[in-house]
Amino acid sequence: MNSFKEIAHQILKETGKPLRAEEIIKIALGRGWLKTSGKTPAATMAAQIYMDIKKKGINSLFTKVERGKFGLNEWQEIKQEEKLYREGSFKNAAYQVLKLENKPLRVQEITDIAKKRNLITSTGKTPEATMGAQLYTDIKKFGEKSPFIQLGKNRFALKEWDIEVLKNEIEEREKEVLISGIRRSIVGDPINFGGLIYGPLNENGVIFLFSKIHDKLGINIEAIQPTYPDARGRRKTSKGWEEVWIEFEYKSSQFKIHKHDPKECDIIVCWEHDWKECPLEVIELKSEIQKLKK
């Protein structure tokens, strides 16, 4: 162990409680882990932990408990009584990851996050296969008592989440139906517009369709982001191009289901507008396509 951060992480993990930088340094010096000629090693320790938190955010190993006092991020993620499975197991790791991310994830995503946070230490070549098999088996074996629910082929969520969110996720997954033992794809309504034969069935389809007609709607997109709201754009006005924030949804009511803050968004772009009391401007692509075809 050479770096201040490695030393801090090990000491915090062993003590199991938040410590001040001075306390971490005292333990490190007592164990002979740190040899420094500096006059203020505690200040250096605090600065390095602060910078790690600022740079990496929730992906940092550390968290600030109070002024000058630090803990480990993993302590905040899941309370001890919430751990349903053996420490270090794939199912415990999956539960922690889903609890932390608070959204359905694919098996590969769960596995990648679990490995990154050192929640699993698998020596196998295909840990994602092990993860998927264990989650599937847990649901099959324990049924309603399992905390997991499967959405689609390889995506999982937690049953304790809002059932409306889960229903929405099920609607937005790849839509396939089993007919006489054969899986047949499901498509949207025929639109025959701009090279597209069918309308969208989910949010990704809405984004794709909007990308083909945004200029006709007088909106330019400057950035698409992974956090809410989905996009930043500009719209032509009499005074110039004003900034607008856009959230994409398949149905406008899903904005409400996802519990988004209306104050942080200007426009909902959707395929179907079904939210009569919506406080925001809504662009319903189904209607816009009909206007553009005339």
Residue 81 — very low, low, confident or very high, per pLDDT cuts 50/70/90? very low
For the chain, give the mean pLDDT. Answer: 81
Helix axes 90-101, 107-116, angle to 10 degrees: 100
Average pLDDT over residues 154-180: 61
What pLDDT is recorded for position 170?
Answer: 55
Domain boundaries, the chain: 4-76, 80-161, 190-293
Pick from 216, 231, 219: nearest CA to 264: 231
Q: What pLDDT, in 10s, does the model give residues 105-160?
A: 889 999 989 888 888 876 677 888 889 888 988 888 887 778 888 876 678 888 87
Decide: 274 and 253 in contact? Cβ < 8 Å. Answer: yes
pLDDT, position 174 = 45
| Predicted pLDDT of residue 234 | 93
Report strand pairing: 267-270 vs 281-284.
parallel
CA distance 45 to 110: 32
Instruction: Say if residues 131 and 107 touch (Cβ distance below 8 Å).
Output: yes
* pTM metric for this prediction: 0.43
Q: How much is the pLDDT for 36?
A: 64
Q: Kindly state the average pLDDT of the residues 210-224.
A: 90
Q: Of 61-65, 69-73, 158-162, 273-277, where does mean pLDDT reach its minimum? A: 158-162
Residue 234 pairs with which residues in a beta bridge?
Answer: 220, 243
* Tokens representing residue 175 in the block: 């839509």
Cβ atoms of 155 and 233 closer than 8 Å: no
For the stretch 5-41, pLDDT in tens is 888 888 888 888 889 888 998 898 888 887 765 668 8
CA dihedral of 78, 171, 256, 272, whole degrees rounded to 10: 160
Q: Which pLDDT value is given to residue 217?
A: 92
| 215, HSE (Cβ side, Cα atoms, 13 Å) | 1
Burial (0-12, 13-18, 19+ Cβ within 10 Å), 258: middle
